[in-house]
Each structure stands twice: as C-alpha cells, then as structure tokens.
C-alpha cells in the first residue's frame, strides 16, 4: 500500500515534469529556431553559428571567452563588447551598466544581446586571440650548454596572431616522477610574420619542472599544447631610439622584435646589450651581427661579467650599466625594453632613470 | 473565504501589498529599481506573470494535485509550472512581438525566481481562494508590486544627487526606504483585512 503510494506519486511527479519538459522542447524547436546566422568578429573572422542564444554563450561555444563574473545575468557588466550591427536595440537591462559614452559607442553586454540574425561585433584583440593551440615539435636546437631553441608547429592549419615580445603559456604533461601538469610562460622568439609556428628559447633551470621536461624529455614530433598570446611587453610603434637589455633566454622577445623590424623595415637607432657570464653563454651572435649589417643603426653589444683570461675575450666586461651612456643619444626620446630576472630589471631600470629616461618608456618582462 | 474578488483585488494592492507587508520579491525589487523605465518594464511583467501563474497553479492544484492526493508536492509543482510558463512566454514574445520583448520580455528570466510569484500561489492555497479570487489576488499583488518598485525607483532617482553615507549606499539605503514605505502602507490596513 505504502509502496504503491510512493510509486504513483513518483510517476505523477515525473509525468508533470515530462509534460512540461516536452512542451518546452517543442517550444524551443518552433519558437527559438533562428537557423544559422553569420557572426563576424573584428571584420576578420566569419563564423557560422546557430542563432537563438546570447552572444556570450554563442562566443564561448566557439572557444572565445569574454570575461563574465556573474555568469550572464546582467549584473556585473564585465562582458562588454562592441556590437556594430545586428544586436537589436539597447535593452533596459544593459543601460544601468553602461556609461553614456559607451552607449554612444554601441558597447553592449554580451550576455544580454541575443544572436538572432547576422551580427557584426568587435572584441579586444587580445581576448579574440588568446586560444589554446595544439602543436607538434618541429625542431630542437642547442644554443648553449643550457639553452635550447624549440620550434612548435601549429596543427590543423591554425595560425597565431601576436605582437613581437608577447609570451605564451606552455603546458607540460606528466613525465618520469613528475605527476602534475604545470603551466609556464615563455616569450615567443620568432617573428609575428611567421604565424603557423613559433619558436621558444628555454634555459634549463636546475630542478625546474617545465624546463627539465623540455630539455630532457621533449623530442621532435612530440605533441605539446600552449595558450596565448599574452602580455603587454611588445614593441611600441614609435620613432624613438631603442635600448634592449636582456641576457640568457631573455634574448627571445628581443629576437622576435628585431626579426619583426627586419620585416617591416626601420630607421630607428637601436642598441642591444646582452649580459652574460662567460663566452660559453653567448649564442646567436652571428645572427645578431647580421642584424647590424641589415639595419641602418643597430649595434649588438655582448658584455661578459666573468670572462676568464683563457677565453681571450676582447669585448666589453663587467656590468652592462656603464655602457648605456654612449648608446643614449637623447634620453627623452629613448625607449628601453628589458627582459630578465627581477634583480636585473630593477638595477637596470634604476640606472636608466639616472641617465634621464622616463619611467613610462621603460618596458620590461620580468622572469617572476 | 467569502470575500469578494473585487475587494481582494484592492486589498492586494494597498493593505496587503505583497512586497511591503510580506517583503516578497525583494531581489529583483532591489536590483532593478535603479531606473524608472526598467522598474516599469519589470513591474508590468510581474503583473502579467502573477495573474496567469495564479490561474494556472489554481487549476493544477485543484484538478491535479488534490484528486491524486499529492498536495504535499505543491511547492515543487508550483515552481516548475512557474518556470516553464515564464520560459515559454519569453520564447513566444521574443518570436512574435520583438518590440514587446525589448520592453518587457527581457525581464521574464528575472521573474522565474521572484518569490512574490511563488508566494501568491501559496497564499491562494493557504487562504482557500476560489478561481476568480485567485486571479484577482494575483493581479492585485502584481499591481501592488509595480507600485512599490516604481516608488523606490522614483526615490532612488532623487537619491542620486544626495550624499548617502558610504556604508548605506545601494541596498542599505533602499532597504531603509522600503521599511519607511511599509510603515506608510500600514496606514491603509484599517480599511480591509484579508489575512
């Protein structure tokens, strides 16, 4: 008796649920079927998407993640993006979260805009670009005893769009005794013009989980993933003179910048100070000598701090800072790009400010 | 209850205002009262949904839950009926009346979880209203809710130019204002009692 009661109640309850769910499914089919629509992002990428969802959900289905803190309820205002056309009128749910200027600039909340017809939107380039890439290792070169250059070929015909100087986050896979996955940031050392593959320059850090994996375990042909590009350390498009200061694997972003400048051409006066301990730490020297010939006014200055007499080093020695003086023509019209350890960055920044460079024009990427 | 539907309708607006006497439907009341225009849109949607769901749930209760003896499941059943109806309504409006959708339809998802809607369905069962009374009570409660949110939105508009102590800004001052409004509405309570 009791059991029968329980069973009928459960059946009734489920029946009500099923009927309502059925009505909803039918309604979804008939009422919110807007067919395939065209989604255009930044006038670059065209995508065929299924209409009927919010713009935020549609984008995340396409692996483009606009930040959203409230999960699409229209209360945080984080998912702002520019809808050029096809977004319908501004909704009362959006108005309180948008300033007058934003409303005039057709900024909308992606979680409130419904994709029902062809739509044309603009989102910050960095959000649009940050993606996860699957790659295969194409080449591994030994630059020094502890620095390797590794080329990652993107798969499935994908391309990466980045600015010279930006970095990616490499994802390790468990190896040997290391069970966890880690993510580490490395600057891209190849030029942005080469967009179907990237090169990273990675130095072996004793006990480093990712660098040990890269140096001792990775082979040509291995599958590796990274996300990116990230970062605001990139070459500014101005006419100012440039000082590059970077040692070790910090050479990576500088290499990318110089290769990029070689592609686009430049008349800027540039000097690159490469700080190292001994001649054993020097690498890519011939390549950078070629840059000296190519550019109107570029000089590559390796500075060794611990060169022994046997090495017959005839170049500059000691710290890099004293040599800045000759390289700075007009401190107010000089940009500096630094890449290296936090200690090196702060020492060099301090010295550059003493030479009269303005702090806003000193850009750096610190190995945190 | 032998109270006429007409009296019930007015009582629900003034003497037993769902928001100001029962403090139901507070979340959307506080978050959407920043602007008069959106408060009006949400309020209108609440009136409509309250009236229809009161009717729907009355039918479901008396012709489904009572005959089959599953009255104890009324909470869940009412909630899913409300949710399904609101969803359905949203899809319908969005498809066939885009203009209405932009003024009213976008508030519908907010209403699914509005406690005032559920509260009205429960009150009508507890107080044993007949169908006509339930519909009148639903409509009256909706109008009462609209009235309350419009008043708060109006006051908050004036408040924008005033200096409110930092700790009270936003929900804090709104709740104090709502409390004072509720006290004001106590003045109506001598006219008719429905609970």
ipTM: 0.72
> Does B5 contact chain A (CB < 8 Å)?
no
Instruction: State the average pLDDT over residues A162-190.
Output: 86
Write the DSSP symbol of residue A216: I
Is residue A7 assigned to a domain?
Answer: no
Is residue A264 assigned to a domain?
Answer: yes
Of A68, A93, A127, which residue constitutes the final position of a domain?
A: A127
Query: Both A211 and A249 in a single domain?
Result: no
**For B33, nearest residue in chain A (alpha carbons):** A96
Between CA A74 and CA A97 the distance in angstroms is 8
- What mean pLDDT is reported for chain A? 87
Q: What is the pLDDT of residues A282-291, one digit of tens each?
A: 999 999 999 9
**Residue of B30, B106, B113, B174 for testing the chain A interface, max A β-carbons within 10 Å:** B106
Is residue A296 assigned to a domain?
Answer: yes
Of A127, A161, A177, which residue constitutes the final position of a domain?
A: A127
Q: Using CB atoms and an 8 Å cut-off, which of residues 179-208 of chain A contact chain B? A: none
pTM over 0.90: no
CATH number for the domain harbouring residue A154: 2.40.30.10
Helices vs strands, H then E, count in chain A:
9, 17
> Does A26 contact chain B (CB < 8 Å)?
no
Is residue A93 assigned to a domain?
Answer: yes
Contact A24 B76 (CB under 8 A): no
In this structure, are residues A300 and A246 in contact, taking their beta carbons and an 8 Å threshold? no
Query: Both A316 and A256 in a single domain?
Result: yes
Query: Both A205 and A278 in a single domain?
Result: no
**For B102, nearest residue in chain A (alpha carbons):** A91
Instruction: State the average pLDDT over residues A135-148.
Output: 93
> Does A53 contact chain B (CB < 8 Å)?
no
Query: Both A109 and A134 in a single domain?
Result: no
**For A91, nearest residue in chain B (alpha carbons):** B102
Taking every pair of Cα atoms in chain B, the longest distance, rounded to a whole number of angstroms, is 58
Picking from A112, A141, A282, the residue whose alpha carbon sits closest to that of residue A200 is A141
Query: Both A156 and A214 in a single domain?
Result: yes
Q: What is the pLDDT of residues A257-285, one digit of tens each?
A: 999 999 998 899 999 999 999 989 999 99
Among B70, B81, B98, whose Cβ lies nearest the Cβ of A9? B70
Contact B84 A20 (CB under 8 A): yes
CATH number for the domain harbouring residue A247: 3.40.50.80
Residue A46 has pLDDT above 70, yes or no: yes
Is residue A292 assigned to a domain?
Answer: yes
Give the number of domains in chain A.
Answer: 3
> Does A12 contact chain B (CB < 8 Å)?
yes
Task: Look at residue B120 in the predicted model and tell me its pLDDT.
Answer: 93
Task: Look at residue A284 in the predicted model and tell me its pLDDT.
Answer: 92
Q: What is the pLDDT of residues A85-106, one digit of tens each?
A: 888 888 877 888 888 888 888 8
CATH number for the domain harbouring residue A55: 3.10.20.30
> Does A19 contact chain B (CB < 8 Å)?
no
Task: Look at residue A173 in the predicted model and tell me its pLDDT.
Answer: 85
Contact B73 A114 (CB under 8 A): no
Residue A71 has pLDDT above 70, yes or no: no
**Which chain A residues contact residue B92 at CB under 8 A?**
27, 31
**Which chain B residues contact residue A56 at CB under 8 A?**
none
Residues of chain B with pLDDT under 50: none
> Does A32 contact chain B (CB < 8 Å)?
yes
Among B76, B87, B102, whose Cβ lies nearest the Cβ of A91? B102
| Distance from the B125 Cα atom to the nearest Cα atom in chain A, whole angstroms | 19
Residue A324 has pLDDT above 70, yes or no: yes
Among B35, B76, B94, whose Cβ lies nearest the Cβ of A95? B35
> Does B76 contact chain A (CB < 8 Å)?
yes
Is residue A294 assigned to a domain?
Answer: yes
Task: Look at residue A141 in the predicted model and tell me its pLDDT.
Answer: 92
Write the DSSP symbol of residue A205: P
3-state secondary structure chain B: CCCCHHHHHHHHHCCCCCCCCCCCCHHHHHHCCCCHHHHHHHHHHHHHHHHHHHHHHHHHHHHHHCCCCCHHHHHHHHHHHHHHHHHHHHHHHHHHCHHHHHHCHHHHHHHHCCHHHHHHHHHHHHCCCCHHHHHHHHHHHHHHHHHHHHHHHHHHHHHCCCCCCHHHCCHHHHHHHHHHHHHHHHHHHHCCCCC
pLDDT band at A349 (very low <50, low <70, confident <90, very high): very high
Task: Look at residue A352 in the predicted model and tell me its pLDDT.
Answer: 92
| Distance from the A9 Cα atom to the nearest Cα atom in chain B, whole angstroms | 7
Task: Look at residue A97 in the predicted model and tell me its pLDDT.
Answer: 84
Is residue A22 assigned to a domain?
Answer: no
From first CA to last CA, the distance across chain A in angstroms is 70
Task: Look at residue B9 in the predicted model and tell me its pLDDT.
Answer: 92
Contact B94 A32 (CB under 8 A): yes
Query: Both A167 and A263 in a single domain?
Result: no
**Which chain A residues contact residue B102 at CB under 8 A?**
88-89, 91
Domain ranges of chain B: 5-190
| Distance from the B191 Cα atom to the nearest Cα atom in chain A, whole angstroms | 37
Half-sphere exposure (Cβ direction) of A49: Cα atoms closer than 13 Å: 28
Segments forming the whole domain that contains residue A143: 130-230
Is residue A89 assigned to a domain?
Answer: yes
Instruction: State the average pLDDT over residues A136-154.
Output: 93
**Which chain B residues contact residue A16 at CB under 8 A?**
64, 77, 80
Contact A96 B38 (CB under 8 A): yes
> Does B35 contact chain A (CB < 8 Å)?
yes
Cα A367 from chain centre: 15
In this structure, are residues A135 and A226 in contact, taking their beta carbons and an 8 Å threshold? yes
Q: Using CB atoms and an 8 Å cut-off, which of residues 99-128 of chain B contact chain A? A: 102-103, 106-107
Which residue has better confidence, B1 or A77? A77
Query: Both A269 and A360 in a single domain?
Result: yes
């Amino acid at each position: 008796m009791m059991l029968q009661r329980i069973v009928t109640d459960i059946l009734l309850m489920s029946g009500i649920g099923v009927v309502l769910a059925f009505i909803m499914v039918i309604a979804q089919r008939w009422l919110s079927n807007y067919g395939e629509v065209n989604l255009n992002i930044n006038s670059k990428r065209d995508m065929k998407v299924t209409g009927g969802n919010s713009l935020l959900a549609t984008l995340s289905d396409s692996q483009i993640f606009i930040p959203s803190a409230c999960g699409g309820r229209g209360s945080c205002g984080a998912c702002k993006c520019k809808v050029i056309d096809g977004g319908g009128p501004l909704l009362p749910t959006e108005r309180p979260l948008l300033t007058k200027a934003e409303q005039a600039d057709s900024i909308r909340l992606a979680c409130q805009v419904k994709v029902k017809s062809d739509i044309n939107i603009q989102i910050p380039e960095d959000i649009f670009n940050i993606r996860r890439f699957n790659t295969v290792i194409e080449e591994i070169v030994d630059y020094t005893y502890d620095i390797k250059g590794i080329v990652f070929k993107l798969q499935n015909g994908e391309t990466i769009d980045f600015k010279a100087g930006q970095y990616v986050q490499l994802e390790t896979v468990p190896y040997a005794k290391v069970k966890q996955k880690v993510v580490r940031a490395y600057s891209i050392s190849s030029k942005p013009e080469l967009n179907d593959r990237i090169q990273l320059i990675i130095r072996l850090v004793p006990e480093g989980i990712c660098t040990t994996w890269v140096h001792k375990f990775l082979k040509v042909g291995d599958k590796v993933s990274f996300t990116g590009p990230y970062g605001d350390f990139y070459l500014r498009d101005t006419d100012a003179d440039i000082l590059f200061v970077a040692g070790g694997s910090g050479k990576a972003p500088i290499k990318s910048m110089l290769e990029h400048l070689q592609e686009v051409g430049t008349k800027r006066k540039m000097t690159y100070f490469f700080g190292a301990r001994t001649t054993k730490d020097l690498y890519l020297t011939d390549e950078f000598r070629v840059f000296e010939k190519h550019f109107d006014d570029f000089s590559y200055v390796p500075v060794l701090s611990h060169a022994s007499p046997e090495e017959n080093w005839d170049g500059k020695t000691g710290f890099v800072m004293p040599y800045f003086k000759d390289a700075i023509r007009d401190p107010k019209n000089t940009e500096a790009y630094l890449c290296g350890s936090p200690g090196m960055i702060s020492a060099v920044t301090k010295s550059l400010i003493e030479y009269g460079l303005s702090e806003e024009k000193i850009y750096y990427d610190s190995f945190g | 209850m032998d109270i006429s539907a007409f009296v019930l309708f007015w009582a629900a607006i003034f003497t037993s205002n769902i928001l100001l006497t029962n403090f139901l439907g507070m979340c959307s009341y506080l978050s959407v009262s920043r602007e008069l225009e959106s408060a009006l849109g949400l309020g209108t949607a609440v009136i409509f949904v309250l009236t229809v769901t009161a009717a729907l749930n009355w039918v479901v209760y008396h012709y489904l839950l009572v005959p089959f003896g599953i009255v104890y499941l009324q909470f869940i059943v009412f909630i899913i009926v409300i949710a399904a109806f609101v969803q359905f309504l949203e899809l319908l409006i969005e498809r066939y009346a885009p203009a209405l959708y932009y003024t009213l339809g976008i508030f519908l998802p907010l209403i699914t979880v509005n406690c005032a809607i559920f509260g009205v369905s429960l009150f009508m069962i507890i107080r044993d209203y007949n169908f006509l009374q339930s519909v009148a009570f639903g409509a009256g409660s909706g109008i009462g809710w609209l009235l309350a949110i419009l008043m708060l939105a109006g006051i908050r508009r004036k408040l924008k130019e005033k200096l409110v102590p930092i700790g009270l800004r936003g929900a804090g001052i709104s709740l104090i204002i709502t409390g004072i409004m509720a006290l004001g509405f106590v003045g109506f309570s001598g006219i008719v009692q429905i609970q």
